[in-house]
A = this chain, B = another copy of it.
């Protein structure tokens, strides 16, 4: 476990979803909300309170930064966000962490008889 990223783990569900929405490209706030809903097939929908609350915290922690506008003819109200390098590392670490645990859980689910402690 990397000392660099472990202080940020475990991520809250909302933070995880936001980082994942930004994994592929920079997005503005409203687009993040839409992407989270899309990625999760509607299972996870962030309201504006949750989004901006979490964005603020992620900005403060340096996992996310504001990024430049897409272009000069882009909607001028939009504020774009991107993952920092740290944010990418933290997201990768959280994914690795959970996937490792899922591996073990799936082994347990594959068994049918409860074994006694």
Using a CB–CB distance below 8 Å, which chain A residues touch chain B? 1, 6, 9-10, 12-13, 19-20, 23-28, 31, 39-41, 43-44, 67, 70-71, 80, 82, 88, 91-92, 95, 97-99, 101-102, 104-109, 111, 114-117
Q: Is the CB of A98 within 8 A of B88?
A: no
Chain B residues within 8 Å of A9, by CB: 43
9 tightest Cβ-Cβ pairs between the two chains A and B: A24-B108, A23-B108, A20-B105, A25-B115, A23-B105, A70-B116, A26-B114, A95-B102, A23-B109
Copy number in the complex reads 2
Q: Is the CB of A98 within 8 A of B98?
A: yes
Chain B residues within 8 Å of A23, by CB: 104-109
